[in-house]
Amino acid sequence: MGSKKHWTRRNLLGAGGTVSAALMLNPLLATAVGEAARKRQIKWANWGGNHRSQPSHIAAPQSEEEVVDFMRTLGGPVRPVGSGHSWSGLVPTDHSMLTLDRLKGVVSHDEETLQAEVWAGTKLFAYGPMMEDLGQAIVNMSDVNYQTMAGAISTSTHGTGAALGSMSSYVIGLQLVTPRGEVLELHADNEKELFNAARTGLGSLGVITRLRFQNREKHRLHQQEWLADIDEVLEDIEPLIRDNQQFELFPIPHSRRTIVVVTNEAEAGAADNIEDDPGALNDLRKVFDVTRKLPAGEDFIYNNVLDYAFGDTKHRIGPSYKVLAHPRTVRFMEMEYTVPADQGVACLREVLATIKAHAPEVSFPLEYRYIKGDDTMIGMFSERDGCAISVHQFADEPRWRDYFALVEPVFHKYQGRPHWGKWHSLRDKDLAVLYPRWEEFKQIRRELDPEGRMLNPYLREIFGEP
């Protein structure tokens, strides 16, 4: 394994240029630059289909040592790639990609402290059962579970719960391979500022190889879901936030309805029920399309059809990681902004009004969640509690960008911070206003990566780099 160092700005600035070495020293790299790569036959696309690229190499290291060798011996830009479940342009590159799909599983765990260290390429859907076998469970997670653990924390991926943080907030240690091939062990007691930068670093500081999480004991959850009047819910929202471990809304455009979802600890002895309905979105789309064709009174009819078709209360009970995750079989595009928690209701009302007035074709529900603030440097919840509001559109709708561009100014009005893994139009100067420590993060990034190896064209725009 490469030598492990405690990070200091002095030894990084004095480390000199990149190390050159013959590719034949590393079979992984020799394979990566083979005939297929030279002919540009490698193709990559994200899940949403809005980003595609042809990298010159894709490396798949099987050990931390191979990651170190890759960073030391192959010059030029490199982008870490996870599951491709981001809609922003974090990954696309014509240069090198590095996937950690072969670095997965548990490294170590502690039964008393409920902590576990895992390889960074571990998928979130695999993390749950791994931890259950150890008597542990992740504290909070997103309702999509296809991401790698490194990709999830690098973009400040989150679930919901006013007293619960993003996934980044439960990282208590990580191992980072810098662009020069140095291995840095980071935690809150060792170079705290770099640690807080790396917990949500957009893959711009180096390659994360290991993550240590603070978990909780394994537990079972009971999730309830029902249809309600959106105005009534928003007028009396505080008890829903306060009295439930997790709470979220799925407001339905062009209706007076919202899906309410609350999740709490399951009662002992309650039978498991993890049934889900991944086809519900398509059913909703069909109902919307039919009612829009009626000559008059379509809003009244739409509300009543929704009540009839989706009005029953649904229950999901089981292990926490199964209850919190939901399958995604309908492909869609997504934009999400986090506004200050106390501005959430006002912002949501304005977004819904904008959609009603100017986007008559939109049927895809929004998503509305509360998340506790943290001390990451550029995470969406940095130094403030947040309310995350997501807008979506079916991926086969060609005007999804127009829809997002219509709604996005409303989020700007409420000091919204864009989700790093989802579509947005903000760049360096805009982001500097939203993040008090933006310039500090950029300085740390430059010191770790003076040659800009971890940047693609998108990240150069994000950080204002030439």
Domain boundaries, the chain: 4-99, 106-217, 220-418
**Cα–Cα distance, 134 to 12 (Å, whole number):** 38
**Cα–Cα distance, 206 to 197 (Å, whole number):** 11
Crossing angle of the two packed helices 298-310 and 280-292, in degrees rounded to 10: 160
**Cα–Cα distance, 59 to 98 (Å, whole number):** 5
pTM of the predicted model as reported, rounded to 2 decimal places: 0.91
The end-to-end CA distance of the chain, in Å, is 34
59 has which bridge partners? 98
Choice among 30-34, 368-372, 405-409, 445-449 with the minimum mean pLDDT = 30-34
Q: Residue 390 pLDDT more than 80?
A: yes
Q: What is the mean pLDDT of residues 124-131?
A: 98
Q: Residue 30 pLDDT more than 70?
A: no
Looking at residue 327, its pLDDT comes to: 86
Looking at residue 291, its pLDDT comes to: 87
Domain 220-418 is found in CATH 3.40.462.10: yes
Q: How many residues are present in the chain?
A: 466
**Cα–Cα distance, 254 to 360 (Å, whole number):** 8
Q: Do domains 4-99 and 220-418 have the same CATH topology?
A: no
Phi, psi of 2 (to 5 degrees): -65, 155
Cβ atoms within 10 Å, residue 158: 29
Looking at residue 297, its pLDDT comes to: 59
CA angle 106, 108, 113 (to 5 degrees): 120
Confidence of residue 89 (pLDDT cuts 50, 70, 90): very high
Q: Is 169 left (phi over 0), alpha (psi -120 to 50) or beta?
A: alpha
Pick the CATH number of 4-99 from 3.30.43, 3.30.70, 3.40.50, 3.90.550: 3.30.43
**Cα–Cα distance, 401 to 423 (Å, whole number):** 9
Looking at residue 41, its pLDDT comes to: 76
**Cα–Cα distance, 265 to 259 (Å, whole number):** 20
The domain defined by 106-217 folds into 3.30.465
**Cα–Cα distance, 179 to 19 (Å, whole number):** 10
Looking at residue 7, its pLDDT comes to: 40
Looking at residue 201, its pLDDT comes to: 99
Looking at residue 296, its pLDDT comes to: 61
Confidence of residue 79 (pLDDT cuts 50, 70, 90): very high
Report the half-sphere exposure of 41 (CA within 13 A, side-chain side): 8
Diameter over CA atoms, the chain: 73
Looking at residue 235, its pLDDT comes to: 98
Confidence of residue 27 (pLDDT cuts 50, 70, 90): very low
